[in-house]
Amino acid sequence: MDNNGSQKKDFDVITVGAGMAGLYMLHKLRAQGFSAIGLEAGDDVGGTWYWNRYPGARCDIESLDYSYSFDPELEKVWQWSERYATQPEILRYLQFVADRYDLRRDIRFSSKVERADWDDSTSKWRITTANGDSLTCQYYVMATGCLSLPKEPDVKGVERFTGQTYFTNRWPHEGVDFTDMRVAVIGTGSSGIQSIPLIAEQASQLTVFQRTANYAAPANNGPVRPEHREKLNADREAYREEGRWSRAGVPLPRSEEPYSSVNLEERQRRLEAGFAQGDLLTINSSFSDLVTNAAANESVQDFFRDKVRAKVTDPKTAEDLCAKDFPLFTKRLCLETNYFKTFNLPHTKLVNLRRTPIASITETGIDTTDESMEFDAIVFATGFDAMTGAIVAVDIRGRDGISLKDVWEEGPKTYLGLNVHGFPNFFTITGPGSPSVLSNMVVSIEQHVNWLTAAFEHLRKEGFQTIEATSAAQDGWITHVNDFANLTLYPVANSWYMGANVPGKPRVFLPYIGGVDTYRQACNEVVEQDYLGFEQCGTSGSRCNEGVIRFVKPDVQMVLDAIAGLEQPPLDTLSPIQAREQIEANTANRAPGPEVGEVLDGSLPGPAGSLNYRLYRPATAGPHPIVVYYHGGGWVLGHASSDDPFCRYLCTQANALVISVNYRHAPETRFPAAVEDAFEALNWIGNNAESLGGAPNKLSVAGWSAGGNLATVMCQLALKQGGPNINGQLLVCPVTDCDFSTASYNENAEGYILTRNLMEWFWNQYCKAEDRKDPRASPLRAESLVDLPPAMVVTAELDPLRDEGNAYAAALQNAGVIVEHIQAPGQIHTSLTAVDMVTSANDVRQAMSDAVRAFAK
């Protein structure tokens, strides 16, 4: 039955937009027996490729990859003529797809959606269009694209110009002839960079107004690369599957090597090869850290700038065309064909708006602060209100009439970029919080459509009418999206990824940067866990597996993955000597931590022989407060320098003399040897504070894990024995008790490096069962904690020791001790001290060093 123009008013699904996403959605829905209609503002299919008809418009992902994969037959009958197809060819492709699957009969064109209202009593959406149509549906899907709502031209005097005005993203269908015209182009993003060389071919004069220079690689366009076609043809499904499980939706090898680990010659070779390849992804994939390491990024920026200087003859123009204001890749890289060379043409001029901003557009041209210029036409290549603009352009009202625009006032909130809490049965294809614009859009579109249509099928089968993200699941996802973005340089740039191009738009990183592969895995796991974090409701009841799909911080997860990749035996299956060897080998190549003024190794007299220590002195003038530090390692592993990066961190950040002291280890010497050594060392350091360069009476203790246990035991002993005077205690994931029955021991028994088994192994090595309740082993069991020094207790959410650390913080507080307590979400036992490796713990670490500073005051 034809839905287009029919009187039918109620559908299973209404999908908005007839671009790549909308077309595939309709095709899938029909195949699965859902009644569906597409509403499209334009008068034909094509979406972005319908509107963006400016000269030079092409895709920037190779056409073989930038095409549907859902039908192998389609892939055979459609052959791309070029590596990067032009807009007309891509539009023809989408028209071909619409015809081939007879999709037009289910699309109403020239139907701009204005409102969407959820009706709780019927569990349906009511969709209202500008031409007065009012339709209802169970599921409402916005397939409106990420770059579809043009940004308002925010240039003074824009309405005064009496010549011709064009917008790249709303280009006249009949084309524009610029012959003999004086043309201005404002904007040098992808649209400007693609259109400028072609406009220059016609115009008598071309003036480009550039506010921010962009990085661009050569497109090196031409026929489809034979080796590319061969690779696809050899095994289409394997090729497509590789794309689906890749970082950016294109099958491409990714280097695991950081930039600094590669020698100069090899770096240059890879950069040149990537540049010659002519694509967006190869250079970035040639090293592991170009978007996370500022120094590496800066170095590759130089490479790009040198390429511009080599192409542009006038040195001043060349310099102006060199991107300098943001890290490479943090705005979308542009692909150029003759863009830079266009500025060598005598009738082309570049105006650097940073030097001479536009004062106003006038009736006849553009005035900068420096000169008045006359034009016949002005082309605005000024971009889009990206990712959220087209969605909130519709007045979408969820439960109780809440407005999506209001909910998103401080930035979009979504679960998986698919659904929003408070808006049941409402979905966005490639919405904010999904890889979308950071990926090959077609791969991401297909993934979303497949996920959604499978979800609709599931709900139908299970008899549910509605599905809606829970607030907790959504909050968890937003945190995860931000955590990932914060590991990168992206938030630094004033890009449309950050919403920074639209005045007044909240500054939030919009897409998900964890990768298409990682994202797909998360979406799959949500389904496998019975739609984790979604509430599913029907007339006969509701079901919700409440939870957060990604709660481990992304960089912590990377560490876990790297360790899992080593496939080493668990420490608790080894002898103590083997365990020590394994740990030493694993940490041999770790990042060293920050530079300090001086590192000194020495020894001090212990109760049973001398004890080594390592002293870290700040570069600032002393004397410094002293922190006596006790290393971690379950009383079995480690030594005075085994927490080197963290000690360096504390030294520089807290401006303190950190002295990491060794103590005798188990099983060779068992409890209470470590306690006796630790106390003797503390006393010796207290007595020798001045000769060590420390400030008298400014002594605090710190320790991680078993070292945290010793640190607080020191405070208890010092109080009992009348000295030394300790100003404060920093306890990082401390062992405070021998009880294995806590919730955290059960929840985090496995999978986060410190396991329950390993902790049992440590206790068994360290302490006889009958000694374990001694407060010198289990300080939580001390009779009183009154009068202990101020404490900072830091625990990690995903640590078996979390609850005993939390209990200790609470017990200190109850005893009247000044306590600062942080439970770090998404962190594990070993990540808080993993300086440089786990940057998501930077805030917590900063709080630790602030606390240590405060102890000394």
Residues making contact with ligand N01 (CB under 6 A): 58-60, 147, 154-155, 186-192, 194, 209, 211-212, 332, 353, 381-384, 437, 496, 501
Q: Which is nearer to ligand N01, 402 or 500 (CB)?
A: 500
Tell me the closest approach of the beta carbon of residue 496 to ligand N01, in angstroms. Answer: 5
Tell me the closest approach of the beta carbon of residue 181 to ligand N01, in angstroms. Answer: 20
Amino acid in position 523:
C
Q: Is 367 helix (H, G, I), strand (E, B) or coil?
A: strand
Tell me the closest approach of the beta carbon of residue 514 to ligand N01, in angstroms. Answer: 19
Q: Which is nearer to ligand N01, 437 or 798 (CB)?
A: 437
Tell me the closest approach of the beta carbon of residue 371 to ligand N01, in angstroms. Answer: 16
Q: Is 534 helix (H, G, I), strand (E, B) or coil?
A: strand
Residue number closest to ligand N01, CB atom: 189
Please say whether the dihedral angle defined by the alpha carbons of residues 285, 287, 290 and 291, taken in this order, is positive or negative: positive
620 Cα distance to chain centroid: 36
What gap in Å lies between CA 824 and CA 803, rounded to an integer? 12
Tell me the closest approach of the beta carbon of residue 354 to ligand N01, in angstroms. Answer: 9
- Residues 593 and 650: beta-carbon distance below 8 Å: no
Q: Which is nearer to ligand N01, 437 or 807 (CB)?
A: 437
What gap in Å lies between CA 588 and CA 642, rounded to an integer? 10
Tell me the closest approach of the beta carbon of residue 431 to ligand N01, in angstroms. Answer: 16
Q: Dig out the tokens for 717 from the structure.
A: 């002993």
- Peptide bond between residue 724 and the one before it cis (omega within 30 degrees of 0): yes
Q: Which is nearer to ligand N01, 297 or 653 (CB)?
A: 297
Tell me the closest approach of the beta carbon of residue 205 to ligand N01, in angstroms. Answer: 19
Q: Dig out the tokens for 15 from the structure.
A: 């999908």
Contacts of 667 (CB under 8 A, 6+ apart): 576, 636, 765, 766
Q: Which is nearer to ligand N01, 194 or 660 (CB)?
A: 194
Partnered with residue 660 across adjacent β-strands are 614, 629
- Residues 660 and 609: beta-carbon distance below 8 Å: no
Tell me the closest approach of the beta carbon of residue 275 to ligand N01, in angstroms. Answer: 17
| Nearest CA among 645, 648, 643, 649 for reference residue 661 | 643
Partnered with residue 112 across adjacent β-strands are none
Q: Which residue has the tokens 């699957």?
A: 101
Amino acid in position 97:
V
What gap in Å lies between CA 69 and CA 63, rounded to an integer? 12
Q: Dig out the tokens for 643 from the structure.
A: 């927490």
Partnered with residue 113 across adjacent β-strands are 129
- Peptide bond between residue 667 and the one before it cis (omega within 30 degrees of 0): yes
Amino acid in position 176:
V
Q: Which is nearer to ligand N01, 155 or 650 (CB)?
A: 155
Burial 374-408 (b: 16+ CB within 10 A, else e): ebbbbbbbbbbbbbbbbbbbbebbbeeeeebeebb
Tell me the closest approach of the beta carbon of residue 346 to ligand N01, in angstroms. Answer: 24
Contacts of 575 (CB under 8 A, 6+ apart): none
Q: Which is nearer to ligand N01, 441 or 681 (CB)?
A: 441
Q: Which is nearer to ligand N01, 191 or 840 (CB)?
A: 191
Tell me the closest approach of the beta carbon of residue 493 to ligand N01, in angstroms. Answer: 9
Q: Which is nearer to ligand N01, 155 or 559 (CB)?
A: 155
Tell me the closest approach of the beta carbon of residue 270 to ligand N01, in angstroms. Answer: 24
Q: Which is nearer to ligand N01, 58 or 624 (CB)?
A: 58
- Residues 593 and 648: beta-carbon distance below 8 Å: yes
State the pairing for strand pair 358-361/348-352: unpaired
Q: Which is nearer to ligand N01, 383 or 638 (CB)?
A: 383
Q: Which is nearer to ligand N01, 129 or 330 (CB)?
A: 330
Q: Which is nearer to ligand N01, 61 or 656 (CB)?
A: 61
Partnered with residue 794 across adjacent β-strands are 732, 822
| Dihedrals phi, psi of 525, to nearest 5 degrees | -65, -35
Q: Which is nearer to ligand N01, 357 or 693 (CB)?
A: 357
Tell me the closest approach of the beta carbon of residue 190 to ligand N01, in angstroms. Answer: 3
Partnered with residue 796 across adjacent β-strands are 824
Tell me the closest approach of the beta carbon of residue 501 to ligand N01, in angstroms. Answer: 5
- Residues 145 and 48: beta-carbon distance below 8 Å: yes
Q: Which is nearer to ligand N01, 334 or 791 (CB)?
A: 334
For the chain, how big is the Rg over CA atoms in Å? 31
- Residues 488 and 514: beta-carbon distance below 8 Å: no
Tell me the closest approach of the beta carbon of residue 282 to ligand N01, in angstroms. Answer: 16
State the pairing for strand pair 107-108/113-119: unpaired
538 Cα distance to chain centroid: 35
Q: Dig out the tokens for 682 from the structure.
A: 């503390």
Contacts of 671 (CB under 8 A, 6+ apart): 635, 766, 767, 768, 771, 774, 776, 777
Helix/strand/coil (H/E/C) assignment for every residue in 291-305: CCCHHHHHHHHHHHH
Q: Which is nearer to ligand N01, 148 or 683 (CB)?
A: 148
Q: Which is nearer to ligand N01, 186 or 626 (CB)?
A: 186
Tell me the closest approach of the beta carbon of residue 446 to ligand N01, in angstroms. Answer: 18
Tell me the closest approach of the beta carbon of residue 381 to ligand N01, in angstroms. Answer: 5
- Residues 554 and 487: beta-carbon distance below 8 Å: yes
Q: Which is nearer to ligand N01, 184 or 549 (CB)?
A: 184
797 Cα distance to chain centroid: 21
Tell me the closest approach of the beta carbon of residue 332 to ligand N01, in angstroms. Answer: 4
Q: Dig out the tokens for 805 from the structure.
A: 């650390």
Contacts of 584 (CB under 8 A, 6+ apart): none
Tell me the closest approach of the beta carbon of residue 153 to ligand N01, in angstroms. Answer: 7
